[in-house]
Amino acid sequence: MANITFTSPKLKKDLTVYAVAGDCRTLLAIAREHKVPIDFECENGECGSCAVQVSILANKQPHGIALTEKEKTVLKLIGKITGKQIEDAEVGDIPPPWRLACQFIVRDEDILVRF
Ligand code: FES
């Protein structure tokens, strides 16, 4: 089970929701279910409008940071992450600072999402 805390000037206050273990919906799907107003357009990892800052809150180090090819391409194109950060994520399990909400599948880490 993961706690996902959303924080944004668009929200009256921070909102924490729970993602059930094994839930394989995207962060965007979970946000929409809870009426969290993250911007989006294509929902297919192509436009970059759903880029959000994600920080890991728990002490637990995440394993196997999985960025989709689209996510890597678009985040790099819009200047949110570098090639080095992609490499660090893939080789060293170091979470990149930005994700595409429509591509990011929440695992069991507690995260803070800024948008
Ligand atoms: S909504 Fe277009 S990249 Fe996520």
Q: Which atom of ligand 1 is nearest to the CA of 47?
A: 2
Q: 94 in ligand 1 pocket by Cβ < 6 Å?
A: no
Contact call for residues 1 and 20 (beta carbons, < 8 A): yes
Of residues 103 and 62, which shows the higher confidence score? 103
Contact call for residues 108 and 86 (beta carbons, < 8 A): no
Q: 95 in ligand 1 pocket by Cβ < 6 Å?
A: no
Residue nearest to atom 3 of ligand 1 (CA): 45
Using the predicted structure, report yes or no on whether residue 109 has a pLDDT greater than 90.
Answer: no
Residues 24-43 have a mean pLDDT of: 95
Instruction: Give the integer Cα–Cα distance in Å for 36 and 67.
Output: 22
What is the pLDDT, as a whole number, of residue 63? 66
Structural domains of the chain ordered from first start: 2-114 (3.10.20.30)
Q: 41 in ligand 1 pocket by Cβ < 6 Å?
A: yes
Q: Which two tokens stand for residue 21?
A: 């273990």
Whole-model pTM over 0.85: yes
Kindly give the interhelix angle for 69-77 and 83-92, rounded to the nearest 10 degrees: 150
What is the pLDDT, as a whole number, of residue 54? 95
Q: 43 in ligand 1 pocket by Cβ < 6 Å?
A: yes
Q: Name the average pLDDT for the chain.
A: 91
Residues 98-114 have a mean pLDDT of: 92
What does the pLDDT look like over 42-96, one tens digit per residue? 999 999 999 999 998 876 667 667 899 999 999 999 999 999 999 999 998 888 9
Q: 17 in ligand 1 pocket by Cβ < 6 Å?
A: no
Using the predicted structure, report yes or no on whether residue 97 has a pLDDT greater than 90.
Answer: yes
Q: 67 in ligand 1 pocket by Cβ < 6 Å?
A: no
Using the predicted structure, report yes or no on whether residue 106 has a pLDDT greater than 90.
Answer: no
